[in-house]
Structure 1
């Protein structure tokens, strides 16, 4: 993969979402994934880019291709769903690409919640699935609340006060329907996701103070070249570390999936099965206040929040999902920004696989 040392610092180029999805699908298929599966993954990755989750979109393509070709992903998985109780199920991903597994889990949660009002679907033998918000949002299109979490695909954090890499960025996403579309909270339990660190590293950008500290000295790391020896800091100090721990237990241990020392760093290992765990929960709003009243009340309260008095220097009140929605609208019209260093990396992958490069589409 090319790095920023090889590529001038140029403004990002804009690519239509359809071109981005087409490149991803063509590359994944050329690397051995079934065409239908490649298109499913590509659509989810392009949606991550559209909604501003740049560390989980086309940026991940070189890594995914490398792992597919190395045999780290099962190219022809048999994903199975076991209904374990009226409101619960367990999805075995058979080491498929995580996007395929978690999409199945979300669809299962929606189907079960239609029957029972609430559903909790656990996942094991999965892989990195990209942006958490994608899967929390899916139930909202069916009049439901969606919740998603995962054991991150590498450990980049320590238990509070420790320095061993035993916890991940373990994300949490919660989505509710509103009159303006889904309101999605999508957050890592660390100050920043590791994908964002990787983006900075690729482009040679300095890391802001407060993201990582050196594992040996505890001093801040701002040089992206030294990020491999860093610990990501949790949100809210010990509270974020505690939240990462509990989400990891629910997404990992509860499902019989990897957690803690058993997690495989898929950034460094393209072959070993990761056994990633995730879960999706869905809540049918009609079983409570009813979706029309719920949405009306949500909109009323959001209006109150946006109209609240602001602190000095604050130009507007921003709520979860605002940037995501605005970003999607802007990028749908203007295209997805692709930094020069990433263009070079993607061109290399396309040439290697014999597919049309991004800006040749």
Structure 2
């Protein structure tokens, strides 16, 4: 077994504006139209600001490499087909996932204004970053938002199996509250594969319960050995079943990839992934007045926060708390970048002859 990589834990902070401009410049230099590069950069930076570090600038080297290699369609013709009053299907034409799913969310919002609820499926897409970004979009329009996807690589087995046939297939749900969107954003595995990649980059050991060896079932804690592992589902067989059902809805229902058909975009920069996603928007006012809904949610949230606590628990934390706190802190203090990631970002900047992040 290889010796564990020496941990690299030192961090520097960069202003969000510097991170966003670096992403936009690199993606544009790799071949994306400038407007598209800026759209993707804004969404990636928002992922960093809200604490989804594995889906922000961390992904820039991979996205730039895939753009340069032709794995993404640089100038996609994203098509929206309204299939019924409350449904639509978006074909992303192999464009960058952020562009495709943002269009899907906008379509869901538009349809839900007319019909009260809308379900928009996606095919021909790609990895789109943080799930919470897209579930949150309808909230700004007085709606509840849901988002799910077939992950862009398989890192989990069906319960009891040892083949990589299921992804981390995320689920995000967002509802309006008086303090801002309450957002649940979760993978169907105990941790996302992006978290494994972060630990691998920095040489950080992993706790038991994240990964097991495909052959022996033994825990893997050395990130250098993660390629031999299976990610464990949340809640045992329940998480595996949830990943399966979300895969059927986001993949099979849309004519997108699922199971053995999925392409591992971490290892393949050129093949079309045909990633599937869906966005649902629900107009709150079709069920109860928006003000009343928000007031009632706030009342229940207050009850939950004031509940009696287990010994050793100081604060009850609810979905969305960390996103809001993280965003406020990082807007003020900058986005934390590990030194190992800075090295990679500086290499990408040099490759495309753009200023590095700490020269902006």
Give TM-score, length-normalised by structure 2: 0.98
How many residues are paired up? Answer: 357
CA distance in 1, matches of 2:56, 2:309: 34
Aligned partner of 1:116 in structure 2 is 115
CA distance in 2, matches of 1:203, 1:100: 30
Aligned-residue offset at 1:273: 0.1
Aligned partner of 1:321 in structure 2 is 320
Aligned partner of 2:330 in structure 1 is 331
CA distance in 2, matches of 1:9, 1:130: 24
Any unmatched runs of 5+ in structure 1?
none
2:147 aligned counterpart, secondary structure: strand
Aligned-residue offset at 1:290: 1.3
Q: Contact 2:8–2:203 at 8 Å: present in 1 too?
A: no
Aligned partner of 2:140 in structure 1 is 141
CA distance in 1, matches of 2:88, 2:68: 31
1:246 aligned counterpart, secondary structure: helix
Residues 1-361 of structure 1 aligned to structure 2 (within 5 Å): 9=8, 11-361=10-360
Q: Contact 1:81–1:90 at 8 Å: present in 2 too?
A: yes
2:77 aligned counterpart, secondary structure: coil
Aligned-residue offset at 1:208: 1.0
**Residues 261-308 of structure 1: CA deviation (Å, up to 9, x unaligned):** 000000000000000000000000000011100000000000000000
**Residues 20-43 of structure 1: CA deviation (Å, up to 9, x unaligned):** 000000000000000000000000
Q: Contact 2:13–2:335 at 8 Å: present in 1 too?
A: yes
Q: Contact 1:8–1:340 at 8 Å: present in 2 too?
A: no
Aligned-residue offset at 1:10: 5.2
Aligned-residue offset at 1:245: 0.2
CA distance in 2, matches of 1:125, 1:78: 11
CA distance in 2, matches of 1:183, 1:10: 31
Give TM-score, length-normalised by structure 1: 0.98
1:343 aligned counterpart, secondary structure: helix
Q: Contact 2:8–2:204 at 8 Å: present in 1 too?
A: no
Any unmatched runs of 5+ in structure 2?
none
Q: Contact 1:176–1:183 at 8 Å: present in 2 too?
A: yes
